[in-house]
Amino acid sequence: MSAQSFTADNTAMLLIDHQVGTMGWVRSIPFEQMKANALALANTAKAVDIPLVLTSSMEEYAQGPLLAELAEIAPKEFEARIKRLGVVNAMDDENFAAAVRETGRKKLIIAGVTNDVCTVYPTLTALQLGYEVQVVADAGGSPTKMADDISIRRMENAGATITSSIQLMAELAGNWTSDRGGKIIPFVMGLMPQQ
């Protein structure tokens, strides 16, 4: 990781293909945990004004629509989501790549619904383009644990920092007593195991 932390002022968040059909193909993490983590990331981005870019692939097919909760959390971003027509690597879609460039940020938080397809390729491309990338591995998963482990190793070996939802949210908070920290705490607490 670079000496300069990822903050709300220097970072953009990319949420890739959190679609109801595709999420059903993930077996390496429980569905509800993956969903809660992805929604907590979206809530965090909106709470502390991090540019948020959403994309989906072939919503009218088996992949299905993006999570309806994303429309509630980030209505403007949901409406502006990049609807890819089968392009596997989101960064190969010119509309998505342009939306990422338009954020003006060189540090990217990336979470895709399937780490072994939706996350790995845009992460590798972003790294090649000179972005610094943190992959939030528990806001997605893969059909098998082996597929997930391999994709995470591949991204890490290429230079991405692998993180978890709560770890990333704590980094963005910096200080729980700060204004930003106070805005993020409820989303962190929402992910804590219930007694």
Q: Residue 193 CB: number of other CB atoms within 10 A?
A: 4
Task: Give the alpha-carbon dihedral of 122, 169, 149, 39, to 10 degrees.
Answer: -70
Q: What whole-number distance in Å separates Cα of residue 69 and Cα of residue 35?
A: 10
Q: Which of 118, 135, 137, 168 is catalytic?
A: 118
Q: Report strand pairing: 82-84 vs 132-136.
A: unpaired
118 is catalytic: yes
According to DSSP, residue 84 is labeled E
CB 138 within 8 A of CB 26: no
User: ∠104-106-108 over CA atoms, to 5°?
Assistant: 105
Q: What dihedral do alpha carbons 110, 115, 116, 121 form, nearest 10°?
A: 0
Beta-carbon neighbour count of residue 153 at 10 Å? 11
Beta strand segments in the chain, E: 11-16, 52-57, 82-84, 107-112, 132-136, 161-163
Give catalytic residue positions: 118
